[in-house]
A and B are shown apart, each in its own frame.
Chain A
Amino acid sequence: MNPEYSVSTAELASLAPEIVLTVGGSLLLLLEAFAPRLRRSFHWLGLAFVAAASWYVATLPAGPSFAGLIEASSLTAAFSQAVLLAAALGLLVAPGYLSRERLLAGEYPALLLWCAAGLLLLVRGVELLTLFVALELLSLCLYGLAGFHRRIASSAEAALKYFLMGAFVSAFLVYGIALVYGETGSTRIEGIAAALARGQGSPGLLLLGFLLLACGFAFKLSLVPFHAWAPDVYQGAPSPVVAFLSVAPKVASVVVLVRLVLLVAESPLGGKWPDLLALLAAASMLVGNLFALVQRDIKRMLAYSGIAHMGYVMIPLAAPGPHSWQPVLVYLVAYVLMNAGAFAIVTMIYGQPGEQHAISSLAGWGYRFPLLAGCLTVCMVSLAGVPPTAGFLGKYFVFLHAIEHGRLGLALIGIATSLIGVAFYLRVVYMLYMKPEVAAPEGFVIDFGGRVGAVIAAGGSLLLGIWPQRFLSWVAASFERL
């Protein structure tokens, strides 16, 4: 790097979204220290910062900055907005839970905002070390959030498990980065691509390096066989955290994984990669759906369902190309809405923190919580991929991509596993409306913010399925220059 390099104002401006989020988080922390009486408004302040970041993301001029370490494009903007949507939902549902558990504190929104900053960097980073730093930033915040319920053991256990998994990921990534850098002499994606095109470096070591990198992100995405941590972490961590943790990091990690896959697939090394990804996708869909079938805890069920959904997201990567971005983005936005929505509702109607989230205790609650149960039903139907919902729209684009690019087999596996999925998603609906109530809910808190979050998620899932045109033109606009 150029030793005389100095940061210009324009370059700082290109970091505006991240800066807003970081400063916002720090401000909330200071307010927590000096004006704790304002606590009730912290989450709304946090939302304001997310909104500001979203505005900056939308207005950011396209192009690389910081000498090509990060870039801004309509594509990164689109994925960044998906991340910010997840952050907003995470902020909306949290205060009710936190005040019920007497945990309301500025640290929560602060950690969440910092995590969002890391996620945005991850989406925009085009250099391996930047990506690594972004990943560490967001992971550290998530460890804190996963263990936020400091008085119950399962939360601490979840945090520890998540931390151990994260440590593995870091090790994988650092090793991978070292190998790739050693062979190509560059850590920038562009530089690596150029080196690969020249045929520089030993193919064996390079492949090993890329495999390590891919494994790291497959861990983050909880793709089979790197998925074992997800159910435990989801079950133990506080539900509003899971609403965020189960979607936002996945969106950002998918972006990096797609970048890596495209980088390798378009190089001479790319031969077997599509098949490898097809295998990951198929295994994730099968294992996720089959294991979800036997879960009795709704959070574990949703964890396995999340594994399966990441499998569906991987389908377009089995035929990699610039065209893979589009179905991935559609699917991820749908996933953010329906999955965060489901966890948001779980947060509200299950009064007990920790490990009791039995699906069977939902029995008859459909009539007790008409609005939330309705929203949960919509989210479940959407997760099952039944039209007219966002989940179906996502599946439609993914399967279409598979058929179009000669992956009919993968589409058929996807279809078959969707059918399995229907069985366990519908069990939730069945419990809500078709069973007599067995246990009156205890200690549930349904607050305004949470209700708004649930309605946004469920309404969005329906709207995207029924009237997707505005959303799709936005998607199309994001890919115009690709």
Chain B
Amino acid sequence: MSTSFLDLLLGDTITRFVFFPTVAGLPLLLMRRAPAATVKIYALVVSLVELALIGLFVVGRWGSTGALLARDAVLPWIDLAPLSVVYEVGLDGISLPLVLLTGLLLPIVLLGSWNGIDKHWGGYAFSMLLLTTGILGALVALDLFVFYVFWEVMLIPMYLIIGIWGAERRIYAAVKFFLFTMAGSLLMLIGILWLGWTYGRLTGVWSFRYEDLLRLELPIDQQLWLFGAFAIAFAIKVPMFPVHTWLPDAHVEAPTGGSVILAGILLKLGTYGFLRFALPLFPHAADRLTPWLLALALVGIVYGALVAWVQVDMKKLVAYSSIAHLGFVMLGIMACDLVAWQGALIQMVNHGLSTGALFLLVGMLYERRHTKKFEDFGGLAKPMPWFATVLVFSTLASVGLPALNGFVGEFMILVGTFKAGWRWFAALSTVGVVLAAIYLLKMLQQTIWGPITREENESVPDLGLREALTLAPLCVLMLWIGVAPKPFLEPSRPALAALLEDYRSRCAEPAPDEPLLAPARVSAGSPTFAAGVVDQEAGR
């Protein structure tokens, strides 16, 4: 192996932008006595450099043919024959939008935490940067073991962010978050090990590479168990209906920045996991369980909306609205239709933008008034016209008003679901759209419109320059995606189409009675990983 990890780290690679935040964040741990402003500016610069790295990397490969935009050289990582794990990362149309979103949200989160975080800013920023490495790594991992490690790397920084910088019940929320996620991911670990072992039994060489494991044809009962293990891990992260209880706690207790990153990206890793791993690896099981998962998604949409409706706290309302919105994404993913998948993918980004903006706005309001209850507000549009404008804008985007981004995603999901034959689910889920309008407009009505009921609200300062800068990119993107969604949808299309074709063709064939190894995908017509190295066993 000629390339080393250091070469990857220093070259124009995916690895560089995955690890840059953590490496560049290490000095933050030593800046204990530095003035707070230095720490903040350093962290912000790091995050902007990170955004630039991601941006330059993607722009350099924009429009490249094939679904896989880039792949780093494969390195051996854990190598103790016959058990080997390789470090393999690649970027394709499915991970691209989420990677860009992560890069974008990082500086916004740091800027949005400028005054809200009042202690140990260096530690906070480092946790955020470490979290970013975990997120990006999980998004680009092409080896299930690597994916698992990055997936777990996200846990500790998020635990610290909620637990150290959170609100009153932060400990409870942090521990609940950690235990829920850990429980799911340990099941997934067993699933991953089982897959690697099965591959080893068939070929004599263990492998956790995505490309290799896609070739496994498993009997239906094994598929059901394994799909269950993966689906529980991902469903907890999404979160889907019965395992969602950690989310309101975590969101409400987390600091603003933590909520933004949690809602903006962490939740998407659950839906991304379904799309990337759970469905393609176990097509028959996924196919069989589709109605159930659609039903759970529908329950999530309606339940999330109904619970959001009765909230009296802005942050809780936004938190429950996330359950409803992610329900839509799950609906689109389980519908298994190209339009629905495109809609689901763009809706992941949309939710990151609009909910991110809403959490930031609630956080800004909290910094001024130290409350998030509706009853303490009313008539805020008068003292804070700019704030009110952005809040209305983000809320409408979240509701799904045409010409804003939320509409594009929800519309495509509903159309795709309907087209795929799940008509009742599509029809019933429109209830969620209506409910979203009701509870979000209720929030607007009670906070920014109407007469000013409290004296303190007379002179609340409007958005400052820093806050405006924080929100501006989000608003621009919300409008841009809403008006001209095509450039945002197009890069993902080939990858999704290839994945869907592959999924359908595998579902069409019956599941085998014994684990089998299909010929390498390279020849199976899937361009997703056409850039991959042909395996030695391909000739078998």
Query: A: which residues have CB within 8 A of B?
Result: 326, 330, 367, 370, 374, 381, 386-388, 392-393, 396-397, 399-400, 403-404, 408, 411-412, 415-416, 418-419, 422-423, 426, 429-430, 433-434, 467-469, 472-473, 475-476
Q: Are B179 and A476 in contact (CB under 8 A)?
A: no
User: In the bound complex, what is the Cα–Cα distance between A244 and B155 (angstroms)?
Assistant: 31
Contacts beyond the supplied A422-B178, A433-B160, A467-B5: 15 A-B pairs with Cβ under 8 Å: A387-B152, A388-B152, A396-B193, A397-B80, A400-B196, A412-B190, A418-B186, A419-B182, A422-B179, A422-B182, A426-B175, A434-B163, A469-B79, A472-B78, A475-B80
User: In the bound complex, what is the Cα–Cα distance between A430 and B159 (angstroms)?
Assistant: 9
User: In the bound complex, what is the Cα–Cα distance between A326 and B81 (angstroms)?
Assistant: 11
In-complex Cβ contact of B197 among A392, A400, A434 (8 A): A400
Q: Mark B150-177, 1 if CB is under 8 A from A, else 0.
A: 0011011001100110000011001100
Q: Are A473 and B79 in contact (CB under 8 A)?
A: yes
Tell me the smallest distance from the CB of B189 to a CB of chain A, in Å.
7
Q: Are B163 and A430 in contact (CB under 8 A)?
A: yes
**Identity of the chain B residue whose Cβ is nearest the Cβ of A475 in the assembled complex:** B80
Q: Are A423 and B163 in contact (CB under 8 A)?
A: no
13 residue pairs from A and B, CB less than 8 Å apart: A370-B29, A386-B155, A388-B152, A392-B149, A411-B193, A415-B186, A416-B186, A426-B175, A430-B174, A430-B175, A433-B163, A467-B5, A468-B77
The list of the 3 closest CB pairs from A to B, nearest first, reads A387-B149, A434-B163, A415-B186
Q: Is the interface of A mostly helix, strand, loop or mixed?
A: helix
Q: Does B296 contact A (CB under 8 A)?
A: no
In-complex Cβ contact of A419 among B32, B120, B179, B200 (8 A): B179
**Identity of the chain B residue whose Cβ is nearest the Cβ of A411 in the assembled complex:** B190
**Identity of the chain B residue whose Cβ is nearest the Cβ of A435 in the assembled complex:** B171
Q: Is the interface of B mostly helix, strand, loop or mixed?
A: helix
User: In the bound complex, what is the Cα–Cα distance between A472 and B83 (angstroms)?
Assistant: 11
Q: Are A387 and B193 in contact (CB under 8 A)?
A: no
In-complex Cβ contact of B186 among A404, A419, A426, A468 (8 A): A419
Please indicate the chain B residues that have their CB under 8 angstroms from the CB of A367 in the complex: 120
Q: Are B171 and A430 in contact (CB under 8 A)?
A: yes
Please indicate the chain A residues that have their CB under 8 angstroms from the CB of B194 in the complex: 403, 408
Q: Does B289 contact A (CB under 8 A)?
A: no
Q: Does B148 contact A (CB under 8 A)?
A: yes
User: In the bound complex, what is the Cα–Cα distance between A365 and B191 (angstroms)?
Assistant: 39
User: In the bound complex, what is the Cα–Cα distance between A155 and B324 (angstroms)?
Assistant: 59
Please indicate the chain B residues that have their CB under 8 angstroms from the CB of A415 in the complex: 186-187, 189-190
Q: Does B183 contact A (CB under 8 A)?
A: yes
**Identity of the chain A residue whose Cβ is nearest the Cβ of B84 in the assembled complex:** A472
Q: Are B197 and A472 in contact (CB under 8 A)?
A: no
Q: Are B83 and A400 in contact (CB under 8 A)?
A: yes
Tell me whether A469 and B77 are in contact in the complex, defined as CB-CB below 8 angstroms, given that A367-B120, A400-B83 are known contacts: yes
Q: Mark B2-25, 1 if CB is under 8 A from A, else 0.
A: 000100000000000000000000
Please indicate the chain B residues that have their CB under 8 angstroms from the CB of A392 in the complex: 149, 152
Q: Are B175 and A423 in contact (CB under 8 A)?
A: yes
Q: Does B450 contact A (CB under 8 A)?
A: no
Tell me whether A419 and B164 are in contact in the complex, defined as CB-CB below 8 angstroms, given that A387-B149, A469-B77 are known contacts: no
Please indicate the chain B residues that have their CB under 8 angstroms from the CB of A370 in the complex: 29, 32
Tell me the smallest distance from the CB of B182 to a CB of chain A, in Å.
5
User: In the bound complex, what is the Cα–Cα distance between A476 and B187 (angstroms)?
Assistant: 29
Q: Are A469 and B170 in contact (CB under 8 A)?
A: no
Please indicate the chain A residues that have their CB under 8 angstroms from the CB of B385 in the complex: none
Please indicate the chain B residues that have their CB under 8 angstroms from the CB of A423 in the complex: 175, 179
Tell me the smallest distance from the CB of A227 to a CB of chain B, in Å.
24
User: In the bound complex, what is the Cα–Cα distance between A330 and B155 (angstroms)?
Assistant: 24
Q: Are B79 and A400 in contact (CB under 8 A)?
A: no
User: In the bound complex, what is the Cα–Cα distance between A408 and B120 (angstroms)?
Assistant: 44
Q: Does B27 contact A (CB under 8 A)?
A: no
User: In the bound complex, what is the Cα–Cα distance between A426 and B159 (angstroms)?
Assistant: 10
Q: Are B80 and A326 in contact (CB under 8 A)?
A: yes
User: In the bound complex, what is the Cα–Cα distance between A332 and B148 (angstroms)?
Assistant: 23
User: In the bound complex, what is the Cα–Cα distance between A80 and B333 (angstroms)?
Assistant: 54
Q: Does B76 contact A (CB under 8 A)?
A: yes
Tell me the smallest distance from the CB of B165 to a CB of chain A, in Å.
9
Tell me the smallest distance from the CB of A33 to a CB of chain B, in Å.
46
Please indicate the chain B residues that have their CB under 8 angstroms from the CB of A422 in the complex: 178-179, 182
Tell me the smallest distance from the CB of B368 to a CB of chain A, in Å.
26
Please indicate the chain B residues that have their CB under 8 angstroms from the CB of A326 in the complex: 80
Tell me the smallest distance from the CB of B120 to a CB of chain A, in Å.
7
Q: Are A426 and B178 in contact (CB under 8 A)?
A: yes
Please indicate the chain A residues that have their CB under 8 angstroms from the CB of B171 in the complex: 430, 434
Q: Mark B121-159, 1 if CB is under 8 A from A, else 0.
A: 000000000000000000000000000110011011001
User: In the bound complex, what is the Cα–Cα distance between A125 and B170 (angstroms)?
Assistant: 54
User: In the bound complex, what is the Cα–Cα distance between A403 and B178 (angstroms)?
Assistant: 26
Tell me the smallest distance from the CB of B499 to a CB of chain A, in Å.
27
Please indicate the chain A residues that have their CB under 8 angstroms from the CB of B197 in the complex: 400, 403-404
Q: Which of B188-240 contact A (CB under 8 A)?
A: 189-190, 193-194, 196-197, 200
Q: Mark B262-291, 1 if CB is under 8 A from A, else 0.
A: 000000000000000000000000000000
**Identity of the chain A residue whose Cβ is nearest the Cβ of B119 in the assembled complex:** A367
Please indicate the chain B residues that have their CB under 8 angstroms from the CB of A400 in the complex: 83, 193, 196-197
Tell me the smallest distance from the CB of B166 to a CB of chain A, in Å.
9
Q: Which of B45-83 contact A (CB under 8 A)?
A: 76-81, 83
**Identity of the chain B residue whose Cβ is nearest the Cβ of A420 in the assembled complex:** B179
Please indicate the chain B residues that have their CB under 8 angstroms from the CB of A412 in the complex: 190
Q: Are B164 and A387 in contact (CB under 8 A)?
A: no
Q: Are A388 and B190 in contact (CB under 8 A)?
A: no
User: In the bound complex, what is the Cα–Cα distance between A381 and B189 (angstroms)?
Assistant: 17
User: In the bound complex, what is the Cα–Cα distance between A28 and B120 (angstroms)?
Assistant: 47
